[in-house]
Amino acid sequence: MRDHRRVGFLDLFRPQPPLVSLIRLPPAAPSRRAAVDLSGQLGAQLSATVRAWVPPRRGTAELLAAYAELPWLHAVVRRRAEALAQIEWLLWRVKDPAVISPRRLRRMLRLPAGPGARDVSARKSRALTQLVAAGAVEIVLDHPLLSLLERPWPSAGSDVALWELASKHQDLTGETLFALERDKKRRPSELLPVVPTWVTNIPAPGAPFFQVRVPRGGEIKLDVRDAVWVRQHDPADPFMGRGIGTALSLADELETDEYMAATAKARFFNRAIPEGILGLLGSPPTFPPPAPAQIADIARSIEEKHRGSERAGQLHLVSGDFKTATFGSTMVESQYIQGREFLRNTCMQIFGTPPEVLGVLDNANRSTIDAAAVHFATYSTVPMVERFRAGFQVQLVPEFGTDLVLDYVSPIPADKEFERSMMVALPAAFTLNEIRALGGRPARDDGGDYYAAQTGNVPTSGDKAAAPDAQVQGNASKKKSADATTVDAGGGQ
């Protein structure tokens, strides 16, 4: 067995160097976190009572293979993975714990998965602005942790490959395991994906490691200090259970849809039933009945003439007396199309993915498409990102410092309709460049200090904080003067 404290995860796939060459590596620093913490007395007792070999859940390998075979499962899981891969990670450092602690900052940064997520995101931005102005926190723009998250798996050839793969593992199996590859200073330098089916045992009291067995490869004990494990806990076995993914609840529906597709393929390929049979009048009937060999020849001729989708619809000729009968039912009569649409919709609904996001535009319009983007980000992307952010905050961020808090740019799109209505209602409160930005136009050099004016007035320049009020007061004064002039003119007449 390899020494898991000195051998990296990638050594499973390459020749193992002699241990003598690794003696000079500095020892791993004591970790402030673990992927699985069972140090508590009660937790250790509960885990020890169920400690056993914990293989992957039955059907895990089939679900991973189904991603390449079932079209709608592939479409939904891939779209969710692409959304996670587009997330931009942020990092905050707490400078004054007396004002706000890292724990409170983490709670403040958390976004709920619900209708109020957009409002919470706006309040979070305002609160962060105030904390930065007070010197309590600062945003970190350049940090080894950010570099690790931006390119976690360099050998993959893509900066988003790991996040897409992590999201797919989470949706299909309910768990994602990352192996930490460390540099010569024992700092995390890479995040490497571990396929859930490779993990044959999970940590337990007295055995704080993952047993990883790679097909056509080796076996390694992955220390919990060198792993980040994000999973959806099984409510039936929260302590020593494996993850439970969303796709598992769709096992029957996915198999049914696959069987229906296979049935359609077999029907079009194997169906050797002609569209019509034409009897030639005047031909004598066959007496006595045909022998088995003759029946086999007739069946063979029908198969050769009508089997295959490219031969469908041909006319078959027979001689003598004959009878016709309908064989089976058509696909429309058996509600084949409606059945597949129902299974498709069930798959999308279970994953919280609107049909417009997947290009299903049967009943869509511009309003539903915009609402679908908000719904997808709020109820599908945000919960997934929060699950990974929480796991990284506990298991990875302490490797770089206890004063750091991981964050991300909210994927929920801004409510441009609300912003437009505000600018229409009170244009004097916005600068010209702010209005141009909402319209997708570049900023102008002379528009930063100019505030928009009411219709018929000229934009004014001045202090950004005082200009809107001054402009409104100016417009009000002009209106009073105009009213007074109108009254005087009326009295003179």
Position with higher pLDDT, 207 vs 477: 207
Instruction: Report if residue 65 sits inside a domain.
Output: yes
Poorest-confidence range of 50-54, 145-149, 300-304? Answer: 50-54
- For residues 200 and 55, the answer to whether their CB atoms sit within 8 Å is yes
Instruction: Report if residue 461 sits inside a domain.
Output: yes
| Most confident of the following: 76-85, 260-269, 316-325, 460-469 | 76-85
Gap between the Cα atoms of 89 and 33, Å rounded: 21
Question: How confident is the model at residue 319, as a pLDDT?
Answer: 64
Question: How confident is the model at residue 276, as a pLDDT?
Answer: 60
For the cut 90, the answer to whether the pLDDT of residue 87 exceeds it is yes
Question: How confident is the model at residue 34, as a pLDDT?
Answer: 59
Instruction: Give me the sign of the Cα torsion angle 224, 230, 236, 241.
Output: negative
pLDDT band at 38 (very low <50, low <70, confident <90, very high): low
Q: Which residue, chain included where needed, has tokens 């535009």?
A: 361
For the cut 50, the answer to whether the pLDDT of residue 250 exceeds it is yes
The tens digit of pLDDT for each residue in 47-72 reads 555 444 576 777 788 889 889 888 89
Position with higher pLDDT, 57 vs 114: 57
User: Average pLDDT in the 68-79 region?
Assistant: 92
Say how many domains are in the chain. 2
What percent of the chain lies above the pLDDT cut of 70? 67
User: Average pLDDT in the 167-195 region?
Assistant: 93
Instruction: Report if residue 79 sits inside a domain.
Output: yes
Question: How confident is the model at residue 487, as a pLDDT?
Answer: 38
Q: Which structural domain range is residue 461 located in? A: 416-492
Poorest-confidence range of 199-203, 308-312, 343-347, 435-439? Answer: 308-312
Instruction: Report if residue 265 sits inside a domain.
Output: no
Position with higher pLDDT, 359 vs 318: 359
pLDDT band at 23 (very low <50, low <70, confident <90, very high): very low
Question: How confident is the model at residue 406, as a pLDDT?
Answer: 94
Q: State which of 209, 235, 251 marks the end of a domain.
A: 251
For the cut 90, the answer to whether the pLDDT of residue 306 exceeds it is no
Instruction: Report if residue 460 sits inside a domain.
Output: yes
Question: How confident is the model at residue 407, as a pLDDT?
Answer: 93
Question: How confident is the model at residue 467, as a pLDDT?
Answer: 43
- For residues 453 and 428, the answer to whether their CB atoms sit within 8 Å is yes
User: Average pLDDT in the 414-433 region?
Assistant: 76
For the cut 50, the answer to whether the pLDDT of residue 485 exceeds it is no
Poorest-confidence range of 285-299, 437-451, 467-481? Answer: 467-481
Question: How confident is the model at residue 274, as a pLDDT?
Answer: 62
Instruction: Report if residue 333 sits inside a domain.
Output: no
Q: Is the peptide bond before 285 cis (omega within 30 degrees of 0)?
A: no
Question: How confident is the model at residue 216, as a pLDDT?
Answer: 75
Question: How confident is the model at residue 42, as a pLDDT?
Answer: 64
Instruction: Report if residue 408 sits inside a domain.
Output: no
Q: State which of 251, 278, 303 marks the end of a domain.
A: 251
pLDDT band at 472 (very low <50, low <70, confident <90, very high): very low
Instruction: Report if residue 281 sits inside a domain.
Output: no
Question: How confident is the model at residue 337, as a pLDDT?
Answer: 78
| Most confident of the following: 204-218, 386-400, 428-442, 465-479 | 386-400
Q: Which residue, chain included where needed, has tokens 């010209």?
A: 432
Question: How confident is the model at residue 147, as a pLDDT?
Answer: 94
pLDDT band at 304 (very low <50, low <70, confident <90, very high): confident
Q: State which of 228, 251, 274 marks the end of a domain.
A: 251
Mean of per-residue pLDDT scores for the chain: 76
For the cut 70, the answer to whether the pLDDT of residue 423 exceeds it is yes
User: Average pLDDT in the 190-204 region?
Assistant: 91
For the cut 50, the answer to whether the pLDDT of residue 453 exceeds it is yes
